[in-house]
Each structure stands twice: as C-alpha cells, then as structure tokens.
Amino acid sequence: MKPIEALKSARNTYICHQVNRVRLPDFEENRFVRHITFHGRVQKVGFRIELAQMAERLELTGWVKNAENGEVIAEVQGFESRIRFLLKFMNSLKRIKIRKMDNKPHSIREDETTFKIL
C-alpha cells in the first residue's frame, strides 16, 4: 500500500470510529428530501466519508460527491430532524469549514435504501 493510501485508510478508520461514538438524540419524525451544496473547506478533509457514515447512523438515504469547483454536493433523504442533526454535526467539525450551505427541495425517491459516496 502506498503511503498516501495508508494515510487515507487511517483517516477513514478514525472518522468511522468518531462517528460511531456520537450520542444520537431522540428525533421528531417527518419526511422530506433536500439537495445540499456545501461551500468552504470541504474537500480533502474526510467530509464525504464523515457525512456518509453519520447519514447511515441516522438511517438517511441519498448520496454525496465532490464537485469540480471545490464544493461538495449531496442529496439527503429522511426525517427532517435527523437531517438537521446531520448538518449541525457537520458544522461542528473543526477540520471542516463550511462557509455556506445551499438547500433545494427535491422529490422523495421511494426506491432509495442506502447512502452512497459517488
């Protein structure tokens, strides 16, 4: 394994461990979908893996991917209170600097069952 791959693997393992340690609150349930574009220092800091791991823990579905312009784009589907918790959690991380989030509603995808990193 190349040194850079070993570092990324160690970072991802650490991120997964940290996400699993977060205590989740009780949630008020109502369902909707959002399209979110994150602006700031959100690439090359483990943002997508952290977002995906927490989305899975929160039983959210959707996807996240890097955009060529340095932004990160995600579609997150699930209960509004859980999505709000996810966004608050992502904003609390020190190595990630979200300057702005653009949200656009999208229709629900009934066939979606997982959260993916694209």
Reply yes or no on whether 57 is catalytic: no
Active-site hit among 21, 41, 66, 99: 66
Q: What CA–CA distance (Å, rounded) separates 25 from 42? A: 25
45 conformational bin, left if phi > 0, alpha if psi -120 to 50, beta if neither:
alpha
Reply yes or no on whether 12 is catalytic: no
> Hey, what are 106's tokens?
């999208």
Active-site hit among 11, 31, 48, 91: 48
Element housing 104 (H / E): strand 97-106
Question: What positions carry a catalytic annotation?
Answer: 48, 66
